[in-house]
Structure 1
């Protein structure tokens, strides 16, 4: 256990805090909790990379903490009627797909794609969308749809990166037991 991993665990602990604050009617304060969680993500990544403290468990827990917090935020915005169900559905599908896909392939010994600039940018854009929605900007929902489109593009990029990191076994397609005359 090191400082970056403790910050990741703190992010998990902030999820119920966010939910409690949000549903107590303090939506803007809940956004502040969400922002603190986002800042711990930046801080833990910086510390892990700059101090050589990156761990395998951290590499797995960090994106899980990010996606869990995002799912909590989306769920709270949906339940409160602040975002349309279609947008929430698309966000859930992406986040749950990324979590389950990463876990599935990790436990089957496949290499998983580490967080990259596009993924980090997507997260920042989602935070901006939530900020606009929480503070009731006129274009908040339109911006959210833009981010959903952008996140779909980044998901396709992740899929191509995954396939490049895990090429098919060429022997899988070979015809066995056949000899040519």
Structure 2
């Protein structure tokens, strides 16, 4: 049974906001999309703070919080690459979401593999992973703000995404080798 405390409620709210965000982008309501993205990002910061401050960390939150984050970010990247009627300077090329989503899938498969092998789930974001998340969120924000030079930001994001992906693969390989 899920412990439905406030941090978990905020995580669930973030998941519920994803289709609202998608609809805002599909209907070219970028200001609404920015508002929804801001609220979703705020729930991410707040749920983590509350879980630590109130000692309300749960297994549900440990698993669902990063899934909610990736669902929001990956969905945003997909939207900005496939909605063809957006202005050229905010329609990103397909390689950007492909790299972002591939990294997330590889990390998810790695975590699942480690769990199946060791029976333990130890999800810890790295400093490079946090920098990557920052740039991924910044990319979404500059696109929603219609920043003319968004391509500079999304290409920096791609570099950090690749570097953090390699770093997680390296760390996951070490952990798997330590178990075997």
The two structures have a TM-score, normalised by structure 1, of: 0.83
| Structure 2 counterpart of 1:32, from 27, 32, 35 | 35
Bigger radius of gyration: 1
Counterparts of 1:7 and 1:117, CA distance in 2: 24
Does the 8 Å CA contact 2:11/2:47 hold for their aligned counterparts? yes
Where 2:72 maps in the other structure, the secondary structure is: helix
Where 1:168 maps in the other structure, the secondary structure is: helix
Moved >6 Å (runs of 4+): none
Does the 8 Å CA contact 1:15/1:72 hold for their aligned counterparts? yes
Does the 8 Å CA contact 1:7/1:40 hold for their aligned counterparts? yes
Structure number with higher relative contact order (C-alpha < 8 Å, ≥ 6 residues apart): 2
Q: Which stretch shows the higher mean deviation, 24-33 or 56-65?
A: 24-33
- Name stretches of at least 5 consecutive residues in structure 1 with no aligned partner: 173-181
Question: How far 1:135 moved relative to its partner?
Answer: 2.4
Counterparts of 1:100 and 1:159, CA distance in 2: 10
Q: Which stretch shows the higher mean deviation, 134-143 or 53-62?
A: 134-143
Does the 8 Å CA contact 1:19/1:72 hold for their aligned counterparts? yes
Is structure 2 residue 62 aligned with structure 1 residue 59?
Answer: yes
Does the 8 Å CA contact 1:129/1:140 hold for their aligned counterparts? yes
Question: How far 1:25 moved relative to its partner?
Answer: 1.9
Question: How far 1:3 moved relative to its partner?
Answer: 1.0
Question: How far 1:75 moved relative to its partner?
Answer: 1.2
Counterparts of 1:78 and 1:138, CA distance in 2: 16
- Name stretches of at least 5 consecutive residues in structure 2 with no aligned partner: 85-90
| Structure 2 counterpart of 1:95, from 100, 104, 124 | 104
User: Aligned residue pairs: how many?
Assistant: 170
